[in-house]
């Protein structure tokens, strides 16, 4: 009887078993066959984060429910608006322009003939600016003293 032939057969059986066990191990992981990528604009994600973070911070003076409410409550108070602009300027990448609009939804519902453009806080958009890519618009709803406001942050990249 040839012992070396039996050992070779045994080796083949062991290797086949090892291959089957490794295939079983690999198949035990769950892979998603259809990986979908998001087409969401990164500036929109950034804008949502900016507005959400300001909305989540309470007003240290205690007059408003959040910093966002304080910033948009009194447009005539340049101190609050400048704080808001400074925060946005520190948060966005270089080469990005933005426009902040405060829309009084309560008054707009009572007077639909009024233009939304009348409520722009920052007006740095001019026709000669070349926009790169799509503009991103992020917004939050704020209620102050029974008035409903929408704060809109529109951002886009420009050529420098």
Per-chain mean pLDDT for the chain: 77
Q: List CB contacts of 66: < 8 A, sequence separation 6 or more.
A: 54, 55, 56, 57, 58, 59, 142
* Distance, CA of 120 to chain centre: 22
- Domain assignment present for residue 28? The answer is no
Distance, in Å, from the CA atom of 158 to the CA atom of 124, rounded to the nearest integer, reads 12
Q: Could you tell me the strand order of the sheet in which 131-144 lies?
A: 96-104, 147-158, 131-144
Residue 33's pLDDT is what?
61
Residue 127's pLDDT is what?
47
Closest CA to 87 of 127, 122, 126, 136: 122
- Domain assignment present for residue 12? The answer is no
Domain total of the chain: 1
The boundaries of the domain holding residue 153 are 42-158
Q: What is the pTM of this model?
A: 0.63
- Domain assignment present for residue 68? The answer is yes
| Ranges of residues in the chain whose predicted pLDDT is under 70 | 1-2, 30-40, 74-78, 114-133, 159-160
- Domain assignment present for residue 130? The answer is yes
- Domain assignment present for residue 147? The answer is yes
């Amino acid at each position: 009887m040839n012992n070396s032939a039996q050992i070779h057969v045994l080796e083949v059986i062991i290797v086949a078993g090892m291959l089957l066990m490794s295939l079983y191990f690999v198949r035990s992981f769950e892979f998603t066959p259809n990986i979908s990528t998001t087409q969401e604009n990164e500036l929109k994600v950034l804008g949502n984060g900016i507005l959400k973070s300001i909305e989540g911070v309470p007003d240290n003076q205690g007059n408003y429910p959040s910093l966002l409410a304080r910033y948009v409550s009194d447009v005539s108070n340049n101190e609050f608006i400048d704080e808001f602009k400074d925060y946005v300027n520190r948060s966005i990448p270089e080469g990005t322009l933005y426009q902040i609009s405060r829309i009084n939804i309560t008054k707009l519902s009572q007077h639909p003939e009024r233009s939304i453009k009348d409520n722009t806080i920052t007006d740095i958009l001019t026709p000669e600016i070349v926009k790169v890519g799509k503009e991103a618009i992020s917004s939050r709803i704020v209620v102050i003293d029974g008035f409903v406001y929408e704060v809109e942050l529109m951002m886009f990249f420009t050529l420098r």
